[in-house]
Amino acid sequence: MIKVEEVSKKYGGEAAVEGISFSLEKGKIYGFIGPNGSGKSTTLKMIAGLVFPASGSITVNGKKVERKIAKEVAYLSELDFFYPTFTVKDMIAFSATQFPDFNMDRANELLAFMKLDPKKKLKQLSKGNRGRLKLVLTLARTAPVLLLDEPFSGLDPMVRESIVKGLLSYIDFNEQTVVIATHEIDEIEMLLDEVIAIQNGQIVAVENVEELRESKGLSVLEWMKKIFA
Amino acid sequence: MEDFQASKPIYMQIVDKISHQIVRGDIKPGEKLPSVREMAIKTGVNPNTIQRTYSEMERMEIVESRRGQGTFVTEVNEVIVDLKEKLQTDMIAAFVHNMKELGFTQEEMLKGLQNYIDREGGK
């Protein structure tokens, strides 16, 4: 589904990722974990076609990743990217013009699920509601790959829970592959199939989470503390 | 969302939880279990994990899946009686194991248990 092979990327002489390789299977939920500055965001941006690798190759469904991969990859940025004078409804309409796979019915259903008022201006939204809206915009797409960069960061427990529930309610489990980059593993521990650990631009380990619990008796958090020690 | 021990396999914890509900009668023989997605949302757990829970319970013959209809609790009374006995044996085994670790003899265990039930049993 997604293949990353020997990929490196530098920013101003400093390596962000160095020769990383891994592959992701269809229909699974991956946790992409690592400390700040480990290369998580850079890797996601490269899969989304927003940043280009200096060397190596990335393919999604056999296609080499370039800018146009946006049709097949929905990407939730860790940044706020909103126009403050837009209403929630404007933002939905705008996204619908940008992505052919944007499903309007699903977007409206998601807005109701997240209890967001379509008439509200974006500048009037709380941080939590901006976080919810970002997820609405991502989950309204039927793209086979969903990349979520720090979807929980800075949000309170109620909002985090609504995001987890939103994911479980609206992901197409048989068709969509989901990658969640985060350093807040507690929130998604129960949500994951596999976990990929990255540190200093290198992949440290890839594990099945139930396997970790079964054979090593470790939670993902405990395992993470061990390997990043 | 439900609480689980993050360091033990989640699918087994859910098997245990549902088994207890069946033995207590909170879930009745022949009752339909929530769909995989409903259960995933209710518990906050990965759907593949829920699928594995249901497969494991099917292997244990506690539930059966009917094509296109969902997963149902068995109506075979024998299976539920067996399950009840198994859960009882598991609990007793854990109790006995812990008591042994603390150095209690058989007589002390039985006496302690009897005393406890006499004192607290009605509550």
Strands (E), A80-193: 145-149, 177-182
**ipTM field:** 0.85
String of DSSP letters for B7-18: TS-HHHHHHHHH
- pLDDT tens across A168-206, in order? 999 998 899 999 999 888 888 999 999 999 999 999 999
Pick from B4, B10, B44: CB nearest A168? B44
CA distance B123 to A37: 56
Structure confidence by residue, pLDDT tens digits, A107-163: 999 999 999 999 999 999 998 999 999 999 999 999 999 999 999 888 888 888 889
Here the tokens at position A193 are: 């199939």
Question: Distance between CA atoms of A203 and A205, rounded to whole angstroms?
Answer: 6
- What value does the mean pLDDT of chain A take? 92
More confident residue, B1 or A14: A14
Chain A interface test: which of B3, B36, B41, B46 (most A C-beta within 10 Å): B46
CA geometry: angle at B113 spanning B108 and B119, to 5°?
125
Residue type for position B104: F
Q: CA A4, CA A147: separation in Å to the nearest integer?
A: 14
Mean predicted confidence (pLDDT) in A196-217: 94
Candidates A29, A164, A214; nearest CB to B44: A164
B64 Cβ neighbours under 8 A, 6+ residues apart: B58, B71, B72, B74
Chain B residue whose CA is closest to A178: B46
Cβ distance B45 to A190 less than 8 Å, yes or no, reads: yes
Q: Tell me the fold of A2-227.
A: Rossmann fold (3.40.50)
The answer to whether the Cβ–Cβ distance between A168 and B52 falls below 8 Å is no
- Please indicate whether, in this complex, the C-beta atoms of A164 and B1 are within 8 angstroms of each other: yes
> Regarding beta strands A145-149 and A177-182, do their DSSP bridges make them parallel or antiparallel, or are they unpaired?
parallel
pLDDT at B122 over 90: no
A107-115 CB contacts, 8 Å cutoff, 24+ apart: A107/A136, A107/A137, A107/A140, A110/A135, A110/A136, A110/A139, A110/A140, A110/A166, A110/A170, A111/A136, A113/A166, A113/A169, A113/A170, A114/A162, A114/A166
A102: number of CA atoms within 13 Å, CB side?
Answer: 19
Fold classified for B10-75: Arc Repressor Mutant, subunit A (1.10.10)
**For position A187, what pLDDT does the model report?**
82
- CA B39 to chain A, closest CA, distance in angstroms equals 10
Would you list the domain boundaries of chain B? 10-75, 78-120
Mean pLDDT computed over B7-32: 95
Contact B7 A219 (CB under 8 A): yes
Contacts with B8 from chain A: Cβ below 8 Å = 213, 217
Residues from A contacting B (CB-CB < 8 Å) are: 27-29, 161, 164-165, 168-169, 173, 189-193, 210, 213-214, 217-222
- pLDDT score at A156: 87
- Which of the 8 DSSP states describes residue A102? B
Phi and psi dihedrals of B73, rounded to 5?
-70, 140
3-state secondary structure of A160: helix
- Interchain contact, A210 vs B41, CB within 8 Å: no
Q: Which residues of B touch A174 (CB under 8 A)?
A: none
